[in-house]
Structures are given as structure tokens and as C-alpha cells.
Structure 1
Amino acid sequence: MNIYVGNLSYRMNDSELEKVFAEFGEVKSAKVIVDRETGRSKGFGFVEMADAASGAEAIEKLNGNDCEGRTLRVNEAKPREERPRRQF
């Protein structure tokens, strides 16, 4: 199950994000999205859980909870929409 995690602390990294979700089950991957140019966190990320049951539990327990002073927004990730590339 792929999970969107929003409103992350800008100091959080991939391994810290993985630790938050690891208590609910096996984490296949955890990725904090960073700005390509600055290397700074964009404040959101994605976590892939090994099974749907542990993913659903993590969403239920973590959504709206405080993590490093910020209220997390956690829900099932939606497939990315295809958008036309911007022309410059």
C-alpha cells in the first residue's frame, strides 16, 4: 500500500520517516520529497507498506497526530495525474 504523508517537518529525512511507520509493520520504502534545486524538503513524502492492513492501521493512527511539532496528514496515495510538460 502506498501512503501519502503531508505536513512533515522540513528537518525529517527518509530514515526518520521510515521509523515513524515501522511500528505498524514492514516498510518497503520511505521517501521525503526534496526540491531539486535547493535539496530542501518540500514537507511531504510517500511510504510504501508491505501489506494493506498495516498501511490502513498506520493511516488511522497517524493522521492528525503530532510529529515534531506538526500535525501530519496521512492518507492513501492517489496515482499521479498525467499532466502536460510545461514549455518554457
Structure 2
Amino acid sequence: MSVRLYIGNLPKEEIDRQELQAVFAEEGEAVTTKLIKDRKTGKCRGFGFLTVNDDEHADQIIEKYNGRTFKDTAIKLEKALPRTKGEENEDQQQPQQAVPKPVTTSNAGNPVPNTEGKSSRRDKSSKKPRRGGGGSRETSSSNTNDSDAVRPDPRWASELEKLKEMLAAQATN
């Protein structure tokens, strides 16, 4: 089974793979190198990888070459971590399904989306007045402005009506 080793602290200049391979030449054909370069500039990004046949040989190479100078810098060798491509953003890659969110009603009877456990960008109480608003603004919940009310999605209007009726029935009990 092959083992990948991380080669760090490489000089950030134009380096050929053959130059790096020459450092490990005495290890023979069993060792292959891969130099990671910037796509735009073609210069080394400061690291690369070394592939070795087995774990025992990998440990010997780390012991032998770790700290050795290459183009006036001491290289760093260690076992590479396994790839984790795609694991970090799994939930972003899955398609989002249109699922209605639970809706509650405010004191004014307007539907308000349930944000329990979620932080919102800004609270209604922290809203800044718009430019050219002119005059003071009433904050009473019974006198809410239509522009501030949350409008339900028309696709879910019938479901929302059912929920309102159910909530009204619960409130009277």
C-alpha cells in the first residue's frame, strides 16, 4: 500500500518536479514526487507530496530527509492527512427542497415565520428608519405598517389559512 508524505516549506519560486525528485533520487524509483504549483503564475505554492511504497519506508524517509536543505530552505516532511474533498460542504451541495416553515401569528394577527433556534439578521426593534421617512414612527404592535408585515408565499396560502384556523381554535380552548 502506498503512503503519501507531505513536503512542506519549499521555496516559493519556479521549481521543476525533477529538481525535487533529485533530492530523493537515492531512494530509487519507488519514490515519486508531486509539486503543487499556482495555476496562474506557475510558481511553487510552498508544498508538495512524496509517494512511497510502504509505511516502514515512509518513516525512514521522514527521519532521513526532514530538515534537509533544498534551495536554502529546510524542508519539512510528515505523513499526509487523508483527503477530505467535499466533506466540509456536504449540506451546501445537497439540493434544497421547498418545505413550508412553521408559521405563528404576532399580536397584530399577522403571520410571522418561526425562527426558533435561528438567529435573524436583525430584530424588528433594531430596524433603522429609512431615508426620507420623515417624522416619528409608532412602535405599537396593533398599528403595524403594511410594508413591515410579513407576506405569506402565495403557494402556501391555503395551508396558512388552515394553520390560522387551528391556532385560533387552540387560543379559544
TM score, norm. by length of structure 1? 0.79
Q: Distance in 1 between matches of 2:54 and 2:88?
A: 30
- Could you tell me which of 7, 10, 13 is aligned with 1:8? 10
Report % sequence identity. Answer: 38
Write the deviation string for residues 18-61 of structure 1: whole angstroms up to 9, x where unpaired. 2222323421x311101112211101100101232222111111
The equivalences for 1:9-24 within 5 A come to 9=11, 10-24=13-27
Is 1:24–1:55's contact at 8 Å kept on the other side of the alignment? Answer: no
Q: Distance in 2 between matches of 1:21 and 1:41?
A: 18
Larger radius of gyration: 2
Identify the structure with the greater strand proportion. Answer: 1
- Could you tell me which of 52, 56, 73 is aligned with 1:53? 56
Q: Which runs of 4+ in 1 moved over 6 A?
A: none
Unaligned runs of 5+ in 2: 91-173
Aligned to 2:88: 83
Aligned to 2:144: none
Q: Distance in 2 between matches of 1:35 and 1:55?
A: 27
TM score, norm. by length of structure 2? 0.44
> Which of the pair has the greater relative contact order for Cα pairs under 8 Å at 6+ separation?
1
> Which stretch shifts more, 73-82 or 6-15?
6-15
Identify the structure with the greater helix proportion. Answer: 2
Is 1:24–1:57's contact at 8 Å kept on the other side of the alignment? Answer: no
TM-aligned CA deviation for residue 84 of structure 1: 2.9
Q: Distance in 1 between matches of 2:54 and 2:26?
A: 13
Give the superposed CA RMSD. 1.9
Unaligned runs of 5+ in 1: none
